[in-house]
Amino acid sequence: MANFNWSGVFPALLTPFNKEDKVDFDLFKTNLDAQVSAGVDGVIIGGSLGEASTLLMEEKRDLLIYAKEISPKNSPVIVGIAEQSTAVAVELAQKAEANGADGLMLLPPMRYKSSDDETVAYFQAVARNTSLPIMVYNNPVDYKIEVTISMFEELLPFENIQSVKESTRNTMNITRMINRFGDRYKILTGVDPIALESLVLGADGWVAGLVDAFPQETVAIFRLVKAGRIQEALSIYRWFMPLLELDIHPKLVQYIKLAATATGIGSEYVRAPRMPLSGTERVTVLKTINDALAVRPELPDYKNLKPLAHANWS
């Protein structure tokens, strides 16, 4: 636990399905292999992009076991936990640990809008019952609960609560967290269209969405920023922006699956109640994707970049 490195690019992986609505493990491997080849630093399964709310418990288990089988030994697999009850969240954390997970991405309670003290108690209960390192997912825009600075203060005694997926969309929170806690909590930006800004402000990593379709470009931006080559990163980022904005739409799953299909590492199949894109909406999103593909940038040799000593800018 103590040696977990919350730094780098962590794709929130899609869960591919086939036309029979079964998990497509072959396509899952195709995408994960593309992520590893691009140089990501770990993967997250069972997140919002992974359609976790529609997955059966055994499907989540099987995805974890398979992801561990096919991932490089030094590449962590993190499991998302988004549950309604504390008891179920604790149980899933323990099962994830038993099945080989390397870490957890923990959301506040689902459906019930818990108060600050209830949310803190929920996080504490999970942390007490697993030795896995935990990343708190702070996304009040989509999940209506904000984990405030004072709440993180209460979580300080729990050493396995180590990082935050910062998705408030308020980049000031990065500086506030660093000013209050130093490097006690690693910060990973969780909103694609403000990722570069967040990295420059001191975020340690990027929990990314469009990486599911464009892994090389995502990792290149991260490593260029950390090497201090901001202008080169910015050039790629500006090209990427119309695609990155697909990550902040209610249909981000369908949008990003369409993008991954266009780049050959995904499919459009989604699980009900979601439906594949159709009509004008599909045409519009596909145009955004194809326009970007038509002028896809040539990337520098980003894999061999060395981060600056002050690359966290903190």
Q: Measured between alpha carbons, how far is 186 from 164 in angstroms, rounded to an integer? A: 6
Q: Is residue 3 part of a domain?
A: no
pLDDT, one tens digit per residue, over 207-259 is: 999 999 999 999 999 999 999 999 999 999 999 999 999 999 999 999 999 99
Nearest to 222 by CA among 105, 103, 305: 305
Q: Is residue 313 part of a domain?
A: no
User: DSSP readout, 167-192?
Assistant: -SS-THHHHHHHHHHTTSSEEEE--G
- What is the domain range of residue 27? 8-304
Task: Look at the chain and count its residues.
Answer: 314
Q: Is residue 135 part of a domain?
A: yes
164-185 exposure pattern, b = at least 16 Cβ within 10 A, e = fewer: bbbbbbebebbeebbeeeeeeb
Q: What is the pLDDT of residue 310?
A: 60
pLDDT band at 20 (very low <50, low <70, confident <90, very high): very high
CATH number of the CATH domain containing 286: 3.20.20.70
Q: Is residue 18 part of a domain?
A: yes
The percent of residues above 90 in pLDDT, for the chain, comes to 96
Q: Is residue 92 part of a domain?
A: yes
Q: What is the pLDDT of residue 311?
A: 54
Q: Is residue 55 part of a domain?
A: yes
pTM over 0.85: yes
pLDDT, one tens digit per residue, over 166-192 is: 999 999 999 999 999 999 999 999 999
Q: Measured between alpha carbons, how far is 273 from 271 in angstroms, rounded to an integer? A: 6
Q: What is the pLDDT of residue 314?
A: 45
Q: Of all helices (H) and strands (E), which one includes residue 136? A: strand 134-138
Task: Share the mean pLDDT of the chain.
Answer: 96
Q: Measured between alpha carbons, how far is 12 from 98 in angstroms, rounded to an integer? A: 21
Q: Is residue 59 part of a domain?
A: yes
- Rg, C-alpha atoms of the chain: 18
* Cβ neighbours around 213 below 10 Å, total: 28
pLDDT band at 309 (very low <50, low <70, confident <90, very high): confident
Amino acid at 88: V
pLDDT at 1 over 90: no
Q: Is residue 104 part of a domain?
A: yes
pLDDT at 103 over 80: yes
* Cβ neighbours around 130 below 10 Å, total: 24
Q: What is the pLDDT of residue 313?
A: 47
- How many independent structural domains does the chain possess? 1
Phi-psi region of 265 (alpha: psi -120 to 50; beta: other; left: phi over 0): alpha
Nearest to 177 by CA among 155, 194, 193, 157: 155
